Structure 1
Amino acid sequence: MQTADKSTQTLAIHINGIVQGVGFRPFVYKLATSLKLAGTVSNAGDGVHIIATGSTSSLLDFTQRVQLEAPPMADISSIATEELTAPCDHNQFIIIDSRHQSAATVPITPDIAICSDCLQEISAPENRRWGYPFTNCTNCGPRFTIIEKIPYDRPYTSMRHFPMCAQCEQEYNDPLDRRFHAQPNACPTCGPQLSWHDRNGLEITTEDCIGSAAQSLAEGRIVAIKGLGGFHLAADATSNEAVALLRLRKKRPAKPFAIMVRNQEKARLFCSISDKESNLLTSPQHPIVLLDKKSNHHLADNLADGLGMLGVMLAYTPLHALLLDHPAAPDALVMTSGNATDEPICTQNQEALHRLQNFADYFLLHNRNIVTRVDDSIARVIGGKARLLRRGRGYTPVPVAVAQTSDMLACGAEMKNTFCIIRNNEAYLSQHIGELSHLECFDFYTESISHLQTILECTPQKVACDLHPDYPSTRYANRLQVNCTPVQHHHAHTGAVMAEHGIEQPVLSVILDGTGFGDDSTIFGGEIYIADRKGYQRKGRLSHLPLPGGDKAAQEPWRMALALLFQHFGRQGLNQQTLPHWLQTVSTYKREAIGQMLEKGINSPLTSSCGRLFDAVAALTGTCLEATYEGEAAMLLEQQAQLFATEQRAQNREPGTGYSPVPANAQDMVILDSLPLAQWVLDDLNQKVSPQEIAYRFHWWLIDGIGMLVEKVRKKYKINTIVLCGGSMQNKILFEGLDTTLREKEFTVYSGEKIPVNDGGIALGQAYIAGAP
């Protein structure tokens, strides 16, 4: 035992944050040993515990360097020290077994993309892990997807079925090895294995499963690949025929497919990549990043029809890297979720063989269980910052610190659903769940809530949900028989941005969105609020349009074009001679039926939705009459506007501005009147103005109009902080135009970065608002 003297001190140090499964204890061990400290370090349910004895100067150096030099994937949220009167019981520094004596409070580590060291090993013939597709270390590999409970130790993961061989055991127990306590540690001798199967599930004998998959993909086949958080359906992204076959089988006629490439150099062959996009693409999370396609990209033309951007991700597991490295493999692979439309991704082998049998020609399987299904994350650089559009692999379930919020479960929205659990002022936003109206997704939702509560060892006694009474998430919340607080949809959008940035004072909120249940018998979606955590006041909106057929109008944007024409011109606006020729292709019967609905107000609720206004202009310009996926009309209209702006700038001309916005006032509310758009667009079409220029003018009409409205509200209420949220804020032209305009007007502007501005962030906003003190 070390003897205490005047120059010796003993500290108990408690560290919380992302500090388990990231090589934190080996880091502490090496640092403490280098400073000649005695003591211990251990994992516990509430973080990492350190007892350290040494000179006062060494301990000071130690506590400073623990924070400054922590491993790349570590994220220290708090560090507390306490001086002890007695020295530790060891004369050296050691790592001791994990202990779990109290409720778990340590955050859970997300899955991490393969690191450069492991990548080098699987590529080196002399290395024992050469070509091994489950290679990992403390700096990379599966985490959240294999965890059953915490502490994060091998017996509590799906790797417990694979006893380590002697060599792996030695690495695992060596504090100086980068695989020290790497829970998924494995090698070809003792770890998970691949198998190759036909579409009927029969195993095909082969010495090279990856080679068989690469060759099949090169021949135009569809291969279902079991990955990290679920299955992908893979196809040759350079082949129109292979992509068309995948579209046919998946019944996905136009929705863009994301691609996977081996490395950033390959990605640059197909897309333009800025420095910030490069950093995002190569980050440890390896999300899908939306990038601008090059004109000579040599990819299949039907990957993202009508769009100038493409979702690209780099190989993030050794399996993906080995597949794309194979000489037979195509340069780029479609990697889309292994599921039928609106169902959750498959995770288990037998489940996939059953559900994906009609999609895939072959199956590349492995025998490591996926405990938690997690989709790929999607991100885009907008306004100079990386912004998550879908939060999943690599980011979930890293918590967001929130101020003074009660422990609770927030149940989220119906579409793009996520849920959120608040524990100890930390918000755990779940992975992307999907569309809850489908039974399989709802089952995934309830299972995920139960699993995360088990891992976090908490059962919140407060619940928050959407104001809409018919959302499956709302009905679920009401069945829990605990204190339940409904939160208006767009107030929750506002709350999500406030929570992420720690804003508690009142803000002006611009919410440009699809649809949300309002509080005045209309459907909200283009709003200006004054809001704080306790409530909101609606101070502005887009003018109302009827929504003929309700939700059907979002699938058939031509309905919204007719609604805009009807609202401005009356029934004569629907006459044959008034309509652009593309709207005349809609059958006379359908147009007549919509005319009667609008005239009589049958099944045509009023809406201020920005998304439906985009639909109206997209259909009126012939850009999109029928949408095959959510947001298609708006995305195509954004692309049209971008094409015009790019063409003008290529000719050294400024693209100009939009139509002149017409603000109005009604009942202490400012309104942006959208009805003149009908006349302006028709006039432009008659004067042979291109749809691209009309789309650009519409975008800037909306940007300038919102700018005018918020200035009017600020003048009256003296609030200068503004948040931008809602699904329409994923539109780069719209967001960047608003951001620039509002900053020029000296507003302080916030929006979502780590939290999606779409419905994927709703649950965090619900929790932040309902949990306010």
Structure 2
Amino acid sequence: MYGIVQGVGFRPFVYNAAKKYGITGWVNNSGGAVTIDLTGDICNVKKFVIQVVKNPPFPAVVNKVRCVSLQYLHYDDFNIKRSSKESDTVKFIPPDMGTCENCLKDIMDKRGKRYRYAFANCTKCGPRYSVIKELPYDRRRTTMNSFEMCSSCKDEYTTPRDRRFHAETNCCQKCGPSLVIINNKGEIQKCEDVIDETIELIKNGKIVAVKGIGGFHLVCSGRNKVVIGELKNRKKRPSKPLAVMMKDINTVREFCEVNEKEEEILKSSKRPIVILRKKENIDLPENIAQGQKKLGIMLPYTPIHYLLLEQLDVLIMTSGNISGCPIEYKNSSALKNLKNVADYFLMHDREIYVPIDDSVVKVFNGEECIIRRGRGYAPSAEHMEVQDNIVALGAQEKSSISISKNSYVYTSQYLGNLQDFNCYRNYQYVIKHLTGILDVNPKIWVYDMHPLYVSSAYKKEGIKIRVQHHHAHMVSCMAEHNISEKVIGVIYDGTGFGLDGNIWGGEFFIGTRADFNRVGHFEYVDIQGGDAAIREPWRCAVSYLYFCGYDGKFIKNIDKNILDAAIQALNSSLNCYKSSSLGRFFDCIAVLIGLKNFITYDAEAAIALENIIDENVKETYKYKIRNENNVFLIEIKDILQGVLNDINCKLNEGTISAKFHNTISKLTCDLVLKLSKIYSISKVVLSGGVFENEHLLKAVYYELKNNGLEVFFNSKTPINDGGISFGQIAVAEAVTKKQSRE
């Protein structure tokens, strides 16, 4: 049996079902699958198989069953046999899961042996992927192997009716991991109860680095504006919103609008951060998410969190890292690298083998949409008719990798920006770990076309395939929705190396998984400043103004000498690149209406622009789309002129933002409808990081649907660059198949 059948209590479930129906034989973990060898009365065998396949215990999922008849062997009983390591089976790596209700009761039960124990878990919850060294999933192949079970835990582990029967991470106060508090000088803090001490530290305005399942969080009171500001300053992230952990769903409802689907996701065993709309005039510090209409909220998912939230109701729970670096997950490294950010460290001695950050999701159109794949969602396994041993290396920022084996594509967790050396080192580690655990011998390596991406330097033996960035975006959505025929692809993005050597990002494709034609795009603008233009969006604004024949007087709060130097550089085409990026156009408008001249995190200016939209405004700016050699070009000048006129007329920023968004939505739909008629195609794919803008995605999606088109967007795979590697594998498979036919 193949699926999520390891690390979820599946073998104990099979054992008890066998006893119920008088079945003899055995069950074991085989590679990444479960094998059952059984004998019994034919009627009882049928009942047994139906129960095991159709009604597995949560969170097990049976994806595939292979049955074979063997020579009869006599068995006296039914047993759980020692696991076997097989390389040719379909493997599903169990994800880390939030604490279940029964384990929560255990840690709150004063009479029980796990009262207030921070590492209580069972077959339905606890660490999995983050502690697994190799498959099949057994304790000896995890970081829990260093903790020998006491006699009481061993009894639970071997008792069929116990819910900890074959719970590989089983432990208690006597035999499991333990907590300690250390200050940022490396000194152990002596106290009666480490949890109570940590609560007092947080109440007193301290920042504590707390080690969880996949790494460290930086934690402080979610009600203390001063300490929140201090945390942002220490992380050098003055504007970026911080994730919040709330005590329970009632606390969440106090501060945010929560629909049924959002509540379901919040309370699921995956326990992601869910992006929720804030209620008005809530009693929380504004600097948690300055200028934002939404908050990133999660519920507690480990015993440590539940214990901390006994006396606290709102905690800042942000990734424990230095800005731009991967999450810290080793005790020594965290003490070294976070000592200037955290005042104290609440850490434990259970080794994290694979670091993994929190997942981030939102609900759009009633669907769960993954923004960042992490704990609970990684590694994913999606069925795809694809050859074995392809490794797709993803993008530069929001990187991930994808690997093919046994008609499944496995996609890693979010791995960050590869320009940071530590992120790249972790990226290499994850490639080695996943290819090893899945028994993959890479034959095909898939790269982004950008010659300067760090992943391009990842040199390995085998076939090398380069995939255009936006084609990978388009195909990631096609593969998710099992689309193979031609589609219209609308790919709105910030950066992507184009076939002509320019930077693309406002693209209209007609294509399949194997190839595409670029049939439309925003016209090219010379952007001055190289990569600095992304961090300093005022450079985008001056570039768009220059392109349309205006000077820099509309840009405020930039030194005149610096502004003049940029204009001179544009005159001389010095350090400039041609870009069709819609992301850069959004940056330009954000600068012109006075929102952001500089950013401290990805897409900050565009996010600020979306957050001020006046939803009541329905007007648009004028725009033109011209046909040049059968390629449609969206002109910039009329749109920019409309924005500048409104600025001169002192229209408020919310109105200008709304009119700009409405214009982009309308011209997108106009061009798609035109292309649909010309090419007789009714399927439309929307992908790329700009479509994280919910206002834009919603407007385009519904308008095209209302015009009778089938419209698809990423939900299981991130619509941003986190989905690139998944698309790359699908492209590589289609390309190699096409080449073999030719």
Shorter-chain TM-score: which interval? over 0.9
Question: Which whole-Å deviations, capped at 9, do the CAs of 1:368-423 have from their partners, x for residues lacking one?
Answer: 00000001111111232110010010011121111234421111111111111111
Q: Could you say which residue in structure 1 is the equivalent of 2:654?
A: 692
Aligned residue in 2 for 1:242: 227
Q: How far, CA to CA, are the matches of 1:438 and 1:628 in structure 2?
A: 15
CA distance in 2, matches of 1:425, 1:606: 40
Contact 1:43 1:99 in 2 (8 A): yes
Q: Matches of 1:383 and 1:632 in 2, distance apart?
A: 24
Task: Tell me the secondary structure at the aligned position of residue 514 of structure 1.
Answer: coil
Task: Identify the residue that residue 575 of structure 2 maps to in structure 1.
Answer: 603
Amino acid in the other structure paired with 1:574: D
Establish whether residue 99 from structure 1 lines up as the match of residue 84 from structure 2.
Answer: yes
Pair 1:231 & 2:216 matched: yes
Match of 1:475 in 2: 457
Aligned residue number for residue 560 of structure 2: 588
> What's the CA shift for 1:565?
2.1
Give the alignment of 1:398-409 within 5 angstroms: 398-409=380-391
Return the letter of the residue paired with 2:597.
L
* Aligned residue number for residue 345 of structure 1: 327
Query: Which of 480, 483, 486 matches 1:500?
Result: 480
| CA distance, structure 2, for counterparts of residue 710 and residue 398 of structure 1 | 32
Residue in structure 1 matched with residue 534 of structure 2 by the alignment? 554
| SS at structure 1 position matched to 2:28 | strand
Q: Deviations over 1:657-702 (max 9, x none)?
A: 4224422111211222222122111222233321101111111111
- Which residue identity does 1:674 align to in structure 2? I
- Structure 2 unaligned segments of length 5 or more: list them: 738-742
Residue 38, structure 1, aligned to residue 27, structure 2 = no
Measured at CA, do residues 89 and 731 of structure 1 come closer, stay the same or move farther in structure 2, by a change above 3 Å? same
Report the CA distance between 1:762 and its aligned residue: 0.7
Instruction: Give the AA of the match of 1:444.
Output: N
Identify the residue that residue 492 of structure 2 maps to in structure 1: 512
TM-align CA RMSD: 1.4
Cα distance in 1, alignment partners of residues 557 and 215 from structure 2: 42
Between the aligned partners of 2:569 and 2:629, the Cα distance in structure 1 is 28
**CA drift at 1:177:** 1.2
Q: Which residue does 2:588 correspond to in 1?
A: 616
2:723 corresponding residue in structure 1: 761
SS of the residue corresponding to residue 722 of structure 2 reads helix
Query: Alpha-carbon deviations, 1:632-680, whole Å to 9, x = none?
Result: 0111111011xx11xx4xxxxxx32422442211121122222212211
Deviation at 1:558, TM superposition (A): 1.8
Aligned-partner Cα distance in 2 for 1:178–1:324: 26
- The AA in structure 1 aligned to 2:166 is H
Distance 1:459 1:405 in 2: 12
1:463 deviates by: 0.5
* Contact in 1 for aligned 2:556/2:594 (Cα 8 Å): no
Determine which of 669, 679, 683 is the counterpart of 2:641.
679
> Contact 1:496–1:766 (CA<8 Å) still a contact in 2?
yes
Query: Are 1:257 and 1:334, in contact at CA under 8 Å, matched by a contact in 2?
Result: yes
The one-character-per-residue Cα deviations of 1:248-282 (angstroms, maximum 9, x if unpaired) are: 21111111111111221111122111111111111
Q: Kindly state the Cα deviation for residue 138 of structure 1 after the two structures are TM-superposed.
A: 0.5
Aligned AA (2:16) = K
1:714 counterpart SS class: helix
| Matching of residues 591-670 of structure 1 within 5 Å | 591-641=563-613, 644-645=614-615, 648=616, 655-670=617-632
- 2 CA distance for matches of 1:208 and 1:43? 39
Distance 1:236 1:471 in 2: 39
Tell me the residue number matched to 1:206: 191
Of the candidates 486, 510, 528, which is equivalent to residue 530 of structure 1? 510
Contact 1:672 1:706 in 2 (8 A): no
What TM-score comes out, normalization by structure 1 length? 0.93
Q: Answer yes or no: is the 8 Å Cα contact 1:672–1:709 preserved in 2.
A: no
The DSSP-based 3-state class of the residue aligned with 1:707 is helix
* Partner residue, 1:372: 354
Cα pair distance change 1:610/1:367, threshold 3 Å: same
Name 1:285's counterpart in structure 2: 270
Q: In structure 2, which of residues 429, 434, 440 is the aligned counterpart of residue 447 of structure 1?
A: 429
Do the aligned residues in 2 keep the contact of 1:260 with 1:313 (CA within 8 Å)? yes
Structure 1 residue 104 displacement after superposition = 5.4
C-alpha separation in 2, matches of 1:501 and 1:36: 43
1:730 aligns with 2:692: yes
Q: Are the counterparts in 2 of residues 383 and 739 from structure 1 also a CA contact under 8 Å?
A: no
Name the residue aligned to 1:652. none
Match of 1:189 in 2: 174
Alpha-carbon offset, residue 497 of structure 1: 1.1
Question: Is the 8 Å Cα contact of residues 621 and 638 (structure 2) preserved in structure 1?
Answer: no
The Cα of 1:156 is off from its aligned counterpart by 0.6
Q: Deviations over 1:699-752 (max 9, x none)?
A: 111111111111111111111111111001111101111110111121111111
Following superposition, the deviation at residue 154 of structure 1 comes to: 0.3
1:568-605 alpha-carbon deviations (Å, 9 max, x no partner): 2x1xx2164xx2xxx23222112211222223322222
Aligned-partner SS, 1:769: helix
Q: How does 1:111-510 map to 2 (within 5 A)?
A: 111-325=96-310, 327=311, 329=312, 331-476=313-458, 479-510=459-490
Conserved 8 A contact 1:104-1:457: no
Matched to 1:375, the amino acid is D
Q: Distance in 2 between matches of 1:539 and 1:383?
A: 29
Number of equivalent positions: 735
- TM-score normalized by the length of structure 2: 0.97
Structure 1 residues 101-142: Cα deviation after superposition (integer angstroms, max 9, x where no partner): 444532110100111111111111112111000000000000
Give distance in 1, aligned partners of 2:595 and 2:337. Answer: 35
Which position in structure 2 is the counterpart of 1:9? Answer: none
Contact 1:407-1:771 within 8 A present in 2 as well: no
CA contact (8 A) 2:87 2:439 kept: no
CA distance in 2, matches of 1:161, 1:85: 41
AA in 2 matched with 1:747: L
Aligned identity (percent) is: 39
- The residue number in structure 2 matching 1:717 is 679
Q: Secondary structure at the match of 2:509?
A: strand
Tell me if the contact between 1:382 and 1:735 (Cα under 8 Å) persists in the aligned partners. no
One-letter amino acid of the structure 2 residue matched with residue 258 of structure 1:
A
Contact 1:111 1:144 in 2 (8 A): yes
3-state DSSP class of the match of 1:750? strand
Amino acid across the alignment from 1:680: G
User: CA offsets, 1:170-197, max 9 Å, x none?
Assistant: 1111122111111110010111000111
SS in structure 1 at match of 2:446:
strand
- Unmatched tracts of structure 1, length 5 or more: 1-14, 649-654
Deviating more after overlay: 712-721 vs 388-397 = 712-721
Structure 1 residues 764 and 575, CA gap change in structure 2 (3 angstroms)? closer
CA contact (8 A) 1:229 1:374 kept: yes
Measure the CA separation in 1 of the matches of 2:608 and 2:30.
51
> What residue is the counterpart of 2:663 in the other structure?
701
Cα distance change of structure 1 residues 385 and 55 upon mapping to structure 2, 3 Å threshold: same
Query: Given that residues 389 and 442 in structure 2 are in contact (C-alpha distance below 8 angstroms), is that contact kept between their aligned partners in structure 1?
Result: yes
Secondary structure (helix, strand or coil) at the match of 2:316 reads strand
On the 8 A contact 2:59/2:124 being kept in 1, the answer is: yes
Alignment CA distance shift 1:474-1:639 (3 Å): same
Any idea what SS the aligned residue of 2:496 has? strand
**Whole-angstrom distance in 2 between the partners of 1:26 and 1:734:** 49
Which residue is 1:47 aligned to?
A: 33
Query: Deviations 1:16-39 (Å, cap 9, x if unpaired)?
Result: 111001011121122222222222
Q: CA shift at 1:165, angstroms?
A: 0.7
